[in-house]
């Protein structure tokens, strides 16, 4: 299910990049937003192999967000900006963002990181780190991501 959402998104993004005016937004609104219940703006950059769990129910991804390769995004995740800052989150490769987590503002999440369920990330996260809580705090460092997947 999660791959279907991203394939539809990639198709709409492809049409958008070709300069087709209305059809990409229509596809994005009808299929991604209404059918699957998630908001992925057409400007977001999502790396290959990334997945959005449970078809993306309740997931919101900002149009300038950058998401690396092989990132697992749970349902109800928000990757977005704030009203007073232009920058938005950048997420590294091989990360896992658990259900309900919020990554807000000019935040950089390193490679091989895990963001715990319902965590609110408002500060940068170093590579190979687990964060959890509100606001998110470092729980463990120097992890091997393959031990958690």
Name the residue with higher pLDDT: 33 or 117. 117
Measuring CA to CA, how many Å separate 88 from each of 10, 34, 94?
Answer: 20, 24, 19
The CB density around residue 18, as the number of other CB atoms within 10 Å, is 9
Domain ranges in the chain are 41-147
pTM: 0.88
Residue 46's pLDDT is what? Answer: 93
Q: What is the mean pLDDT of the chain?
A: 92
* 1 — pLDDT class (breaks 50, 70, 90): low
Tell me what the mean pLDDT of segment 77-96 comes to: 94
To 5 degrees, how large is the angle CA 7–CA 9–CA 77?
Answer: 105
Q: Residue 19: which residues within 8 A CB-CB, separation 6 or more?
A: none
For the domain with range 41-147, which CATH number is right: 2.160.10.10, 1.10.3210.10, 3.30.1330.30, 3.20.20.70?
A: 2.160.10.10
* pLDDT exceeds 80 at position 3: no
* pLDDT exceeds 70 at position 135: yes
């Amino acid at each position: 299910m999660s791959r279907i959402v991203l394939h539809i998104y990639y198709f709409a993004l492809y049409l958008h990049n070709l300069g087709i005016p209305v059809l990409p937004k229509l596809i994005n609104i009808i299929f991604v937003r209404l059918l699957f219940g998630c908001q992925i703006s057409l400007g977001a950059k999502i790396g290959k192999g990334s997945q959005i769990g449970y078809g993306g129910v309740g997931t919101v991804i900002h149009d300038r967000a950058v998401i690396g390769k092989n990132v697992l995004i749970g349902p109800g995740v928000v990757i977005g900006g704030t009203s007073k800052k232009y920058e938005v989150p950048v997420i590294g490769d091989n990360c896992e963002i658990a259900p309900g987590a919020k990554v807000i503002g000019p935040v950089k999440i390193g490679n091989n990181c895990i963001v715990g369920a319902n965590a609110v990330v408002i500060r940068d996260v170093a590579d190979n780190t687990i964060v959890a809580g509100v606001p998110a705090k470092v729980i463990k460092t120097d992890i091997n991501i393959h031990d958690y997947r």
